Structure 1
Amino acid sequence: MKMRTLLMAASLLFPALGAAQAADVEKPSLTLGVGGKPLLYYLPLTLAEKLGYFKDEGLTVEINDFGGGAKSLQALIGGSVDAVTGAYEHTIRMQPKKQDIRAVIDLGRYPGIVIAVRKAEADKIKTVADLKGKNIGVTAPGSSTHIMVQYLLTKAGLKQDDASFIGVGGGASAVAAMQKGEIDAISHLDPVISKLEDLGLINVLVDTRTTEGTEKVFGGQNPAAVLYFKESFIKDNPKTVQALTNAFYKTLKWLEKATPEQIAANVPEEYWLGDKTLYMKAVEASRQSYSTDGNIDEASMKSALSLITTTDPSIDPAAIDLSKTFDGSFLAKAKGQ
């Protein structure tokens, strides 16, 4: 009887605690945008959702998956989503447009983007410069996968429009585009890249999933996926922003120690692209790309700024205030809990 009484008391207590926590945030129900959720670039988002960390923080998060990062940014600007997990570079790119967008936690310290060529073209395309005149698949025009190729083309002495870019989406459609020969090369992420490698369809030219590969391209770290908001939302909803930051920080710490098997078990099976073993291989290939502390240091900010100004000369680096692209105060509180 005593045990039954305790269980009944607990069943009444925990929902009450959850309700109290939900009432404590300004917006317990919110909408979050992302561009290609099945991609490993956004793995922390899927894990935060599946591990129940949003609910633990008293939040109900509706996730809208768009065709690419540029579209999720547009949704934030347009007001159809409250927050975005997307590329850090968008916080910089929006500043000259008088849009105050700020990241609060870094999820990926490296882009995780791979540039690869179709094997049938491998004897003709051996360097980035050889991509001139080729059809290159990207997740979506204007997305980080697109901008990465533009950056590399510029560094190779080419014009950004010296190649044609084709939006191929974020999953099976990207694999199909390469299988059908619709593209000569691809700028994409895992698990798509690992799937194409397993099928023997591509040769890798550039790999920013690893420390070594990222340093070859940028000379250091280059922040990738972050959680970002409009500054006005942060100001009006600080407890909500803190709750989301807490959830993502707990996710990063879980991810740091998790095995590929544990990770695969906590994502939808359709994310495996039909092969769980291959998915786990892709997780291991991208392991180094995830942030372990959520912070973005000044050197990383400058690296991202260099990428943007190289691909968009209309942006004056001297006019960008990098301190307004990242608000680390919520991360500091998350770490202290």
Structure 2
Amino acid sequence: MSGRRRIAGFLSAVAVLAAASGCGLVSGEQPLATSSSPQVEKITIRVGVLPVVDVAPLHIATKNGYFRQEGLEVETVVVQGGAAAIPGLIQGSLDITFGNWVSFIAAQSKETAKNVGGIKLISDGYQAKPGMFLILVKGNGTIRTLTDLVGKTVAINTFNNISELTTKAVLEANGIDPKKITLKEMPMPDMEAAIERNIVDAGFMSEPFITRAQRNSGQIAILDAASGPTSGIPIAGYGTTGKFAQENPKTVAAFQRAMAKGQRDASDRATVQGLLPEYAGVDRDTSKLVNLGLFPTSLDATRLQRVATLMKTYGLLQTDLDVEPMLVRG
């Protein structure tokens, strides 16, 4: 065989191998764990999420390939709330979970996760703005003021979480004794129907459930729970256990880098709006109307300490707790 033929054959073989190596990749999708990708301890991680606006950055990071660029595969698991997800962290069925800061701080205070190194906070998620935490009632019902709530039942997604804290704080700020209102646990997607069927009198909802209940059932808001003492309050983020963070530092750091990019991209309303029908189960018209909060790109101990202080004030913490040691900074 001549030298020219050998070179041609070699180039053809290279072309075939190159084509084969690209099989199975969607256009624009990043390959997982290339030689230039960070070497993480655990490639596939199970992350607890809720079908709410708050987790949009995680879905953005997934769709844009930010996790894959970091050598990670994220498997999402739907949970009812932050408090409900913590047993999954402790038992190891979840590696990381989205949750509200109140649930994470309460679990740390009670030493619920003591045997697995405690609760560690690794990524900020969501911060309140007006109109995104509302207590809704029937549009044609008899409840029209906060005073009308006395003796009534209000649905919240879980106890010992941001819903309970902000509800109690804002009620008290408006002269209503929180002890005169009954709180009932219920998944947020079920609240609209429960109000219409008189199973509960009101429901604490976040987006997209607020806009859906207003559009579908004509429900109205009688309280903005992100106002007064809770205005601009940090709401939620991502946590893990000390054990997981210690054993998988590169995995946690990779998750933090990908999430920072997702949080950054979530500042574009159109990006969040376009994803809501995919993971939150709302139609596109509803997604155009939802009220969005803020998506912080870094953890801030001073900001989160405000949550712990409010928890102590309203009885969700028995003693003071310093949030700083809980943070794992990226």
In the superposition, the TM-score normalised over structure 1's length comes to 0.79
CA, structure 1 residues 67+91, in 2 after alignment: closer, same or farther (shift >3 Å)?
Answer: closer
- How far apart are the structure 2 equivalents of 1:31 and 1:116? 33
1:291 deviates by 2.1
* Displacement after TM superposition at 1:158 (Å): 5.0
Q: Which moved more, 1:182-191 or 1:11-20?
A: 11-20
| Shift in CA distance, 301/16, structure 1 to aligned 2, threshold 3 Å | closer
Q: 1:69 to 1:16 in 2, by over 3 A?
A: closer
Aligned with residue 276 of structure 1, among 275, 284, 297: 284
Residue 231 of structure 1, aligned match among 227, 242, 245? 242
Do the aligned partners of 1:48 and 1:248 also contact (CA within 8 Å) in 2?
A: yes
Give SS of 2:48's match: strand
Look up the match of 2:136.
116
Q: How does 1:241-320 map to 2 (within 5 A)?
A: 241-259=252-270, 262-269=271-278, 271-273=280-282, 275-282=283-290, 285-286=291-292, 289-298=293-302, 300-312=303-315, 315-317=318-320, 320=321
Aligned to 1:135: 153
The equivalent of 2:180 in structure 1 is 162
Asked if the contact 1:154/1:310 (under 8 Å) is kept, the reply is no
**Unmatched segments (≥5 aa) in structure 2:** 1-7
Q: 1:70 aligns with which of 83, 99, 102?
A: 83
Shift of 1:117: 2.4
CA contact (8 A) 1:28 1:60 kept: yes
CA gap of 1:117–1:266, structure 2 versus 1, over 3 A, is closer
Distance 1:84 1:17 in 2: 22
User: 2:88 corresponds to which letter in structure 1?
Assistant: A
AA partner of residue 310 (structure 2): L
In structure 1, the residue matched to 2:167 is: 149
Contact 1:22–1:28, Cα closer than 8 Å, also in 2: no
Matches within 5 A, 1:80-119: 80-98=93-111, 99=113, 100-110=118-128, 112-119=132-139
Superposition TM-score, scaled by structure 2 size: 0.81
- Matched with 1:335 is none
Identical-residue share of aligned pairs (%): 22
2-structure distance, mates of 1:16, 1:278: 34
Shift of 1:296: 2.1
1:314-335 deviation per Cα after TM superposition (whole angstroms, max 9, x unaligned): 5212xx12211323x31xxxxx
Is the alpha carbon distance of 1:142 and 1:269 closer, same or farther for their aligned partners in structure 2, counting shifts above 3 Å?
same
Q: After TM superposition, what 4+ stretches of structure 1 lie above 6 angstroms from structure 2?
A: 1-4, 13-17
C-alpha deviation, 1:251, in angstroms: 0.4
Which whole-Å deviations, capped at 9, do the CAs of 1:30-87 have from their partners, x for residues lacking one?
A: 21123xx221122223333333322222112222212222111222123321111111
Cα distance in 1 between the residues matched to 2:316 and 2:276: 40
Contact 1:42 1:225 in 2 (8 A): no
SS in structure 2 opposite 1:188?
Answer: strand
Whether the 8 Å CA contact 2:156–2:203 is kept in 1: the answer is yes
Question: Which structure has the bigger radius of gyration?
Answer: 2
Q: Unaligned 5+ residue runs, structure 1?
A: 209-213, 331-337
Q: Is the 8 A contact 1:47 1:267 kept in 2?
A: no
Q: How many residues are paired up?
A: 308
Q: Give the distance between the partners of 2:267 and 2:317, measured in 1 at CA.
A: 39
Indicate if the aligned counterparts of 1:118 and 1:203 stay in contact, CA closer than 8 A.
yes
1:135–1:185 CA contact under 8 A, matched in 2: yes
CA contact (8 A) 1:256 1:292 kept: no
What secondary structure sits across from 2:297 in the alignment? coil
Identify, as 1 or 2, the structure richer in helix.
1
| TM-aligned CA distance change 1:12 to 1:186, over 3 Å | same
Q: For residue 193 of structure 2, give the secondary structure of its aligned residue in structure 1.
A: helix
Quote how far apart the aligned CAs of 1:21 are.
6.2
Give the deviation of 1:96 after TM superposition.
2.5
Pick closer, same or farther for the CA change 1:5–1:158 going to 2, 3 Å.
same
Counterpart residue number, 1:24: 39
Paired with 1:3 and 1:253, the residues of 2 have a C-alpha distance of 43
Tell me the SS of whatever aligns to 2:98.
strand
Aligned to 1:216: 228
1:247 deviation in Å?
Answer: 1.3
